[in-house]
């Protein structure tokens, strides 16, 4: 995993060079701080997913796919809530099961890392 300071430093350089369309110093500082929080949160989700994968004895070559599942649910969590979020998460879970991942590991990631429960049944 890349160091968060290196990631944020490259982002800040792109802002200062005007590549991101910003020029005012205060706006740049706020944008960099927001980006730092986002990257930090993403890395924390990845660490928690990896912890579960280690506990479950998942083959390390599959970590990338489980982390991608966790990241997808994390993005959904930012834009949806309630039953809509639960349904969207269930759709993603089903999709990743069809891709060959373990249902029990995916459910642990959904429930423990992201705090998304299963959708209410009919």
Instruction: Determine which of 2-6, 42-46, 59-63 has the lowest per-residue pLDDT on average.
Output: 2-6
For residue 20, the model assigns a pLDDT of 54
Q: Which two tokens stand for residue 10?
A: 């490259």
Q: Report the alpha-carbon distance of residue 29 to residue 21 in Å, rounded.
A: 14
Q: Tens of pLDDT along 71-105?
A: 999 999 999 999 999 999 999 999 999 999 999 99
Assign domain 4-113 to its CATH architecture.
Answer: Up-down Bundle (1.20)
For residue 19, the model assigns a pLDDT of 56
Q: Tens of pLDDT along 10-42?
A: 887 777 776 555 456 667 778 888 888 888 888
Segments making up each domain of the chain, as ranges: 4-113
Q: Report the alpha-carbon distance of residue 62 to residue 90 in Å, rounded.
A: 20
Q: Tens of pLDDT along 38-56?
A: 888 889 999 999 999 999 9
Averaged pLDDT, 63-74: 96
Residue partners of 12: CB distance under 8 A and separation at least 6:
28, 32
Rounded to two decimals, the pTM is 0.77
For residue 35, the model assigns a pLDDT of 86
């Amino acid at each position: 995993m890349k160091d968060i300071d290196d990631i944020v430093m490259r982002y800040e350089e792109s802002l200062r060079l005007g590549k991101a369309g910003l020029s005012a110093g205060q706006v740049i500082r706020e944008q960099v701080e927001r980006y730092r929080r986002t990257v930090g949160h993403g890395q924390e989700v990845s660490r928690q997913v990896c912890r579960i994968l280690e506990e479950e004895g998942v083959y390390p070559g599959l970590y990338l796919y489980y982390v991608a599942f966790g990241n997808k649910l994390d993005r959904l969590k930012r834009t949806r809530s309630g039953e809509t979020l639960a349904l969207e998460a269930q759709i993603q879970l089903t999709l990743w099961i069809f891709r060959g991942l373990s249902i029990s590991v995916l459910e642990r990631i959904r429930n423990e890392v992201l705090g998304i429960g299963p959708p209410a049944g009919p």
